[in-house]
């Protein structure tokens, strides 16, 4: 495994079977790129340096700890899951604040979370709120399964047009959908 072979190389994001993000020192990057090239594995070097989701951000945790002190906890009926722990966010304020810090320095496991939600929590509909790669990740992770994935942010449609598509998908999937806020009357024949 590369993490065992290359010092100062860290997995930042395990997005899906065909995409992961790695972060490392310049030396680690060179070793990894040589291995990938030798094994004929496609890779792309990204044009930025952040260190997010790796121990490289550990020295910034103090700033984040100060910021999360001001978070207020509001109880809700919708569970929120962490792609770091693969569990629901804790309801305890201190544990919640620590998880926010952990997100900065620990890997993101989208692949594991999507699989867990699908297999253990029986989730069959995935909705990407805003921009991001969730739909592509879900398509790669669950390619042989029965699921639906849709994005709320499509550049060639207005927000309202895409919202209608999301609501239609939910309706098709058998979910109860309240359209009244759109000012739409539905008629069934």
For 38-53, how does the pLDDT look when each residue is reduced to its tens digit (9 = 90+)?
999 999 999 888 899 9
pLDDT digits (tens, 9 = 90+) for 5-33: 899 999 999 999 999 999 999 999 999 99
pLDDT digits (tens, 9 = 90+) for 104-119: 999 999 999 999 999 9
* Polymer length in residues for the chain: 189
Unique residue bearing structure tokens 């919708």:
78
Least trusted range by pLDDT, from 30-44, 142-156, 157-171: 157-171
Q: Which residues lie across from 127 on neighbouring strands? A: 150
Structure tokens at 43: 């890779």
Q: CA torsion 126→157→46→64, rounded to 10°? A: -60
Mean pLDDT to the nearest integer, 145-173: 84
CB-based burial, 154-169: b 16+ in 10 Å, e otherwise: eeeeeeeebeeebbeb
d(CA 178, CA 92): 32
Q: What is the pTM of this model?
A: 0.85
Q: Which pLDDT band, with edges at 50, 70 and 90, does 189 fall under?
A: very low
CB-based burial, 54-93: b 16+ in 10 Å, e otherwise: bebbeeeeeebeeeeeeeeeeeeeeeebbbbbeeeeeeee
Which of left, alpha, beta for 183 (phi over 0: left; psi -120 to 50: alpha)? left
């Amino acid at each position: 495994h590369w993490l065992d072979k290359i010092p100062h190389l860290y997995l930042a994001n395990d997005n899906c079977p065909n995409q992961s993000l790695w972060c490392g020192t310049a030396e680690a990057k060179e070793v990894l790129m040589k291995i990938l090239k030798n094994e004929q594995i496609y890779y792309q070097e990204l044009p930025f340096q952040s260190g997010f989701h790796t121990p490289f951000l550990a020295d910034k945790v103090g700033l984040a700890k100060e910021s999360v002190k001001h978070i207020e906890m509001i109880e809700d009926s919708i569970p929120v899951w962490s792609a770091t722990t693969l569990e629901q966010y804790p309801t305890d304020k201190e544990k919640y604040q620590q998880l926010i810090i952990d997100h900065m320095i620990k890997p993101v496991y989208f692949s594991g979370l999507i699989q867990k939600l699908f297999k253990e929590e029986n989730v069959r509909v995935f909705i990407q709120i805003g921009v991001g790669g969730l739909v592509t990740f879900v398509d790669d992770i669950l390619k042989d399964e029965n699921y639906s994935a849709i994005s709320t942010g499509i550049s060639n449609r207005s927000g309202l047009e895409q919202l209608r598509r999301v609501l239609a998908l939910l309706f098709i999937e058998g979910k109860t959908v309240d359209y009244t806020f759109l000012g739409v009357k539905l008629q069934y024949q």
